[in-house]
Amino acid sequence: MEHLAGPRPARRQHAMTPTQPAKGEAAPALIDRRIAALGDWRGDTLRRMRALIRTADPEVAEQWKWMGTPVWSHDGVVCTGESYKASSS
């Protein structure tokens, strides 16, 4: 597929290294904890999205970046799993 501006540039071929927190806890465990801690529709949504992502790409890497953001990568960032306050009051 071509972009309007011309052909798509080639993807980078270097391997990405998963970001680990200072404590050394693995990203999948941190994502599990985030889902449990949310405990509401946000946790349910994150759990469902995670399952969809892993089903669609079993080789996707789960990472924990940017001060506590779940990230799924495969040849670059696929998506992120930010969660925000339930309401703005």
The pLDDT assigned to 84 comes to 81
**Average pLDDT of span 32-60:** 94
Tell me the pLDDT band of 64, cut-offs 50, 70 and 90. Answer: very high
**Average pLDDT of span 42-58:** 95
Distance in Å from the first CA to the final CA of the chain: 45
Tell me the pLDDT band of 16, cut-offs 50, 70 and 90. Answer: very low
- pTM above the 0.75 mark? no
Angstrom distance (rounded) from CA 89 to CA 77? 32
Share of the chain above pLDDT 90, in %: 53
Q: What are the respective helix, strand and coil percentages of the chain, to the nearest 5?
A: 30, 20, 50
